[in-house]
């Protein structure tokens, strides 16, 4: 979790006191996310615009790798941890491939696809365990009822009822 200029963590068992993972005076941080193998911590820092960084975990103080600048939303890892994704300021979903190994080595960033206009800020796109992408978006450029959110319960049961196999 974050608090202004720090990325913090707590152990779930034993000593549950806060541990500072990253701290840079004067820069707000947000969106920390661990890689699936628990080796890398990605987060956004508002240095000059929103910058995406990766640090080793749990020894986050030992190195910091700049990955991208001018990002929007929150970064996320692929289920296998070999790719790191984020949405760029031009609304393109971007990715870097991450090589396995002791040091953080990422490929040159490349676009995956243009994301649609989004209903929510923050998490705009994420990846399902099977590698498909999920995005929450508006219908058209504007929402019809921006003050209304529809929650559907029992969706798959209703789908089976309406369209049996």
Token pair 């243009």 is found at 114
Contacts of 108 (CB under 8 A, 6+ apart): 96
Q: What is the mean pLDDT of residues 126-137?
A: 74
pLDDT in tens, 34-48: 999 989 999 888 877
Its pTM stands at 0.72
pLDDT at 13 over 80: yes
| Strand 105-106 relative to strand 110-114, pairing | unpaired
Confidence of residue 96 (pLDDT cuts 50, 70, 90): very high
The distance from CA 69 to its chain's CA centroid, rounded to whole angstroms, is: 14
pLDDT at 97: 95
Which two tokens mark 150?
């529809």
| Strand 71-77 relative to strand 65-69, pairing | unpaired
Q: What is the mean pLDDT of residues 63-87?
A: 89
For residue 52, give the nearest of 10, 9, 18, 98 by alpha carbon: 98
Token pair 């959110």 is found at 149
Higher pLDDT, 120 or 86: 86
pLDDT at 120: 47
Partners of 43 in beta bridges: 53
Cite the DSSP H helix spans in 6-150: none
**CA torsion, points 58, 78, 102, 59, in degrees to nearest 10?**
-10
CB 47 within 8 A of CB 5: no
Mean predicted lDDT score pLDDT of the chain: 79
Rg of the chain on CA atoms, in Å: 18
pLDDT at 82: 93
pLDDT in tens, 134-149: 766 555 555 555 566 6
Q: How far apart are CA 28 and CA 23, in angstroms?
A: 9
The backbone torsions φ and ψ at residue 160, rounded to the nearest 5 degrees and listed phi first, read -65, -40
């Amino acid at each position: 979790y974050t608090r202004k200029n720090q990325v913090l963590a707590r152990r779930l068992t034993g000593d549950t006191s806060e541990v500072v993972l990253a701290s840079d005076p004067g820069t707000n941080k947000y969106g920390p996310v661990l890689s699936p193998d628990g080796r890398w911590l990605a987060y956004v820092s508002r240095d000059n615009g929103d910058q995406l960084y990766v640090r080793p975990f749990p020894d986050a103080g030992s190195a910091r790798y700049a990955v991208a600048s001018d990002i929007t939303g929150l970064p996320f890892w692929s289920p296998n941890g070999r790719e790191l994704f984020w949405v760029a300021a031009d609304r393109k979903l971007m990715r870097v491939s991450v090589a396995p190994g002791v040091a953080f080595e990422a490929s040159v960033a490349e676009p995956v696809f243009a994301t649609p206009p989004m209903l929510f800020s923050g998490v705009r796109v994420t990846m399902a365990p099977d590698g498909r992408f999920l995005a929450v978006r508006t219908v058209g450029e504007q929402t019809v009822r921006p003050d209304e959110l529809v929650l559907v319960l029992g969706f798959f049961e209703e789908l089976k009822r309406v369209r049996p196999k």
